[in-house]
Structure 1
């Protein structure tokens, strides 16, 4: 039994490749053609994110992909196979959705910024994955959709990430129509930060990641957590919360060092303290 579990874990880890350089960890979805978010794929991705949390060599995480599809969302064949279960698949469906929710929240609550690099199609939970990342860069070949409505399954969980990234009208258009939008439309909607050529995609993402990686890791961690927490608060509560965050941030060694370096016109030396 232990060997079987170890083998399954090894297979799952192969679904997500890794590359690390100059503080940037790239996680590569490598189960084309669909790069579907199966149980194994989500386990592997979450495991890689969890391991990066306490790795001080990692400052920024990039989620990229092999093939022409970033991710087509949940593995519908895997889910359909479980309709033969005694409960009609209910327990497996619940497990799938719970794991997906955990994965998306792991990205949002991760202390390191996460950037999606999209050079293909991202649909349903794949689109949700892009929306859950802190930043996203797309090539002109990227396409996005929440097409569940077309197969009788409204994209309710992708809706959570989508509606927190783009306007309600744009989110509802994608959710109700289920149609594919191109990269330029995704840029207008606010789903991605930039659209570049396929040839420029990796260079743009690496440059963006390295700029962020050059900052104080303490400051980035503090700011990312505060951003998502205050976004859910009333205006007065958000100001009350963030003023305390700024006071604590000012007391940090990196803030003292950064301000001193600015005044003295020199490069700061970050310690993450």
Structure 2
């Protein structure tokens, strides 16, 4: 399937999605978000790959929403745009594959939201992150949701209230990204991380991703009770049985989705 605003490739159980509006700094237009949601759900349903890497073509990861669409749209159009973005974030969360944001250049507003919503993120050391909506009178309320769940309340509010850039090294310290590497090593480092995860069972990865987000806001022992049920059921899967036998027999496991 061809896309107008995206590029997509699969390689060794990893899917690579590239935002492809370099002339608009990969702004998240209605059309791009619709394509991205459709593609993510397709990946999740087909299960051909075990990991998804999300990156940008050109000099920028993503500058956020297309402000021209917001300025020119009716209130109904704007609501539809933000609802479409909501569906994109839901797709990132709900597909079984972990989504890794590969960040270069800038990730601002909804572009920063994409990074925060991803399961993992690798950034070039010259990458910059910001939620600058306050500067144009449009507070970054939707990016605030995932941002505040990544970096903590005080730092999130600082970013939201000042609109200033957070350098990659600071983003690493505050938990917005997992790893920071020299620009020339960004592609290799992201592929290496994706490759490590892609060695494992998608059944186990998907169950673990779903359970992680289900338990994260529960009280400790409510979470432990839930996790106990999940891991008990997980032991009955074909891949868990194979993995345990392989460990005991000192051999490499053969996953059902390999």
TM-score (norm 2): 0.96
Aligned length: 257
**Which residue of structure 1 lines up, in the alignment, with residue 58 of structure 2?**
67
Matched, 1:20 2:5: no
Residue by residue over 1:73-92, the C-alpha shift from the partner in whole angstroms, topping out at 9 and shown as x without a partner, is: 1100111112xxxxxx2101
Matched, 1:35 2:17: no
Alignment of 1:105-254 (within 5 A): 105-254=90-239
Q: Which runs of 5+ in 2 are unaligned?
A: none
Alpha-carbon distance in 2 for matches of 1:248, 1:184: 40
Alpha-carbon distance in 2 for matches of 1:54, 1:64: 21
Residue by residue over 1:91-112, the C-alpha shift from the partner in whole angstroms, topping out at 9 and shown as x without a partner, is: 0111011111111111011111
Shift of 1:24: 0.5
Matched, 1:81 2:81: no
Shift of 1:55: 2.0
Shift of 1:236: 2.0
Alpha-carbon distance in 2 for matches of 1:134, 1:242: 19
TM-score (norm 1): 0.91
Alpha-carbon distance in 1 for matches of 2:75, 2:21: 26
* C-alpha contact (below 8 Å) 2:69/2:78 kept by paired residues: no
Shift of 1:213: 0.7
Matched, 1:271 2:256: yes
RMSD: 1.4
Shift of 1:259: 1.3
Residue by residue over 1:180-233, the C-alpha shift from the partner in whole angstroms, topping out at 9 and shown as x without a partner, is: 111101111100000001111111111111110110111000000000000121
**Which residue of structure 2 lines up, in the alignment, with residue 44 of structure 1?**
35
Alignment of 1:255-266 (within 5 A): 255-266=240-251
Shift of 1:54: 2.0
Q: Which runs of 5+ in 1 are unaligned?
A: 1-8, 83-88
